Structure 1
Amino acid sequence: MTTSKTITIGAAQFSSEIGNVDANLDRHLHWIARGREAGLDMLVMPELSLTGHYGSENLLDAAMSRKDPRLKRLAEAAGPMAVTLGFIEEGPAAQFYNAAAILCDGRMIHLHRKVNLPTYGKLEEGKHYAPGRFVETCELDGHWRAGLLICADVWNPALTHLAFLHGATLLICPVSSGEEAVGADFDNPGGWALTCRFYAMIYGAPVVMVNRTGTERDLTFWGGSRIVDPFGRELAVAGSGEEMIAATLDYDVLRRARHLLPTVRDSNLALVQRETARLIDTLGVPDFVRE
């Protein structure tokens, strides 16, 4: 990883074979080699990139522990470049998670388990995965700390807020977004473009969103990966096919953005804690019971 104020990040969008971890591993090695040739400090791949969106169909065969030698192989291939990828994690007590990991210098340096599991429209993740229970961040160097959230996590503003309050200066969003996933009236491509710019501007931090391509079963993946700067300006946007985009981010731009709009500084944790505690006992309770 870099130790300077700038970081060059790439987003590799591609398709994956359902449940075929070994074939998908080769694709990862290809893109890792491309990223290293390009001199990237970090390369981000889509959600569930090692298993495919419907990898849960072969969950018992596709799931991997954090110590799986195939993840170790990818971590070694990454070298000093940080690599974010998605897989089905088998955790303790045979619990399965939609997970994303950051690999660097031969080891896993961060793991996030998806918290917000969509079970609506054509999405059925709540039937297959256990929800993650934590939002944490990962230090990349002295300036850059990554908040890693998976797809629908980002559509829960509370989770994004937590990531930035945990010190994130960069939001990484691997997604597996199909055009038809939620419903005909829901604009997934347009929604993601708005969401990435919104969070970047509100929190004064870059946002890297990486979608996949191709089709799986009844879903068409539209690509559209993007890298957005702390002022919400799109630095790089991908089309609908397989490709890698990249941009160099400057920490001084983040400093200026957060000086102008100090959202993180002005977050009132005590207020949030108090109101959240109050809601726990009242939210969803009928009025006549409260009274």
Structure 2
Amino acid sequence: MKKKIAMIQMDIVYGEPKENFKRTKEEFANAVKTGADIILLPELWTTGYDLTRLDEIADKHAIESIAFLSELAKEFNVILIGGSVAEQCDDGVRNTLLVIDQKGKLIHKYSKLHLFQLMDEHLYLEAGQDEAEFTLDGESTAGYICYDIRFPEWMRKSAVSGAKVMYVVAEWPKPRIDHWRALLQARAIENQCYVVACNRVGADPKNEFGGMSLVVDPWGEIVAEGGSGEEIVTATVDFDLVDEVRGRIPVFRDRIVEKY
């Protein structure tokens, strides 16, 4: 089975959800024109990293964000890996990834497990307790947020469960963009799966973001790569290739788990 994917590599207006909803709808229309089956948004696309104001601007239980994404998914008959949003929960704010199917139904939520202290996430966000794995169109899949990719044991857990595609949404800073590329290739190679990663571009008062959204295949080859500006990055993933690679180099069969 093959699926065409489009990643919306966009800038985000700092701390202005209404403006970001408007801009996202405009960019979404461009992504739909590519004929994509699955469309990705970046991390915290509603607010950016305006962490000190999250109590004021976060979306309560992500209700507005889910409704907005559901309407887009239904209207254009596409699956949405709806980036992540600042979700106001009963116990604080979480950085939550949303997955919406073609009928507009929310099929998965994942709140970021690993909080990035270098950008003060631990001061303003609560860590999630969700599982990363979900089923999408009958295929085992997983979704992660930015800093998660520095934890190979977390992503390996999904691969052992059978995930064939790992989606990543991010606001990865430009000064460490070489790490972004290397880590994503490593996660694809070691887990013998596709890694599809959508990063933002632009800047906020404290950071500049690097773009370079990537699709990496199970051999670690880069199938598509964005630049440093706003664009729609597209690629086709072939789920059969995952089975082929895992059959040729049987990493999971050869694991000696009692030694790890």
Asked if TM exceeds 0.5, the reply is: yes
Distance 2:170 2:65 in 1: 22
1:166 to 137, 156, 161: 161
The alpha-carbon deviation at position 201 of structure 1 amounts to 1.4
Q: 2:15 aligns with which of 19, 38, 57?
A: 19
Q: Which residue of 1 aligns with 2:174?
A: 179
Confirm or deny: 8 A CA contact 1:224 1:237 kept in the other structure: yes
Report whether the alignment pairs 1:137 with 2:137. Answer: no
Gaps of 5+ in 2: none
- Corresponding residue of 2:99: 102
Deviation per CA, 1:237-278: give whole Å up to 9, x if none: 111000011111112211111112223344455x37xx6xxx
Deviation at residue 171 of structure 1 after TM alignment:
0.6
* Structure 2 equivalent of residue 283 of structure 1: none
Contact 2:62 2:88 in 1 (8 A): no
Q: CA contact under 8 A between 2:7 and 2:31: conserved in structure 1?
A: no
SS of 1:163's partner is helix
Q: Deviations over 1:100-122 (max 9, x none)?
A: 111222222111110110113xx
CA drift at 1:99: 1.2
With over 3 angstroms needed to count, the CA separation of the structure-2 counterparts of 1:135 and 1:267, relative to structure 1, is farther
Match of 1:118 among 116, 119, 122: 116
Alignment equivalent of 1:39, drawn from 35, 42, 49: 35
Q: How many pairs align?
A: 256
Q: What is the TM-score of this pair, normalised by structure 2? A: 0.92
Contact 1:11 1:244 in 2 (8 A): yes
Normalising by the residue count of structure 1, what TM-score does the alignment of the two structures yield? 0.83
Unaligned runs of 5+ in 1: 181-187, 276-291
Could you give the per-residue CA deviations for residues 149-200 of structure 1, whole angstroms, max 9, x where no partner exists?
A: 10111101121111212321101111111134xxxxxxx2111111111111
- Please state whether the residue corresponding to 1:258 is helix, strand or coil: helix
Q: Which has the larger radius of gyration?
A: 1
Structure 2 contact 192–245 (Cα < 8 Å) conserved: yes
Tell me how far apart the structure 2 counterparts of residues 262 and 217 of structure 1 sit (CA, whole Å).
47
Residue 65 of structure 2 contacts residue 85 of structure 2 at CA under 8 Å; is this kept in 1? no
Q: Find runs of 4+ consecutive structure 1 residues off by over 3 angstroms.
A: 264-269
Where does residue 235 of structure 1 map in the other structure? 223
Name the structure 1 match of 2:80: 83
1:19, 1:57 within 8 Å by CA — same for their partners in 2?
A: no
Deviation at 1:140, TM superposition (A): 1.1
Contact 1:8 1:248 in 2 (8 A): yes
Q: What's 1:58 paired with?
A: 53
Whether the 8 Å CA contact 1:148–1:172 is kept in 2: the answer is: yes
Query: CA separation in 2, counterparts of 1:133 and 1:112?
Result: 8
Partner Cα separation in structure 1 for residue 162 and residue 214 of structure 2: 22
User: 1:255 aligned to 2:243?
Assistant: yes
8 Å contact from structure 2 (residues 20, 45) kept in 1: yes
Identity score, percent: 25
- SS for the counterpart of 1:32 is helix
